[in-house]
Amino acid sequence: MPDSPELIALRSSLADTVEELAPEAAKQVAQAVIRQILDAIESGVCPLGDWERRCLAAAITSLRGGRANEARSRARRALWPEENRRSAAIAKFPVRPGMHTVEELKREFEAAMASGRAKARS
User: CA-CA distances (angstroms) from residue 15 to 49, 73, 97, 113?
Assistant: 21, 10, 30, 23
For 32-50, what is the mean pLDDT? Answer: 94
Report pTM: 0.85
DSSP code for 45: S
With a cut of 80, say whether residue 1 has pLDDT above it.
no
DSSP secondary structure of 90-112: GGGPPPPTT-SSHHHHHHHHHHH
Polymer length of the chain: 122
Instruction: Give the confidence band of 102 by pLDDT, cuts at 50, 70, 90.
Output: very high
C-beta separation of 37 from 73 below 8 A? no
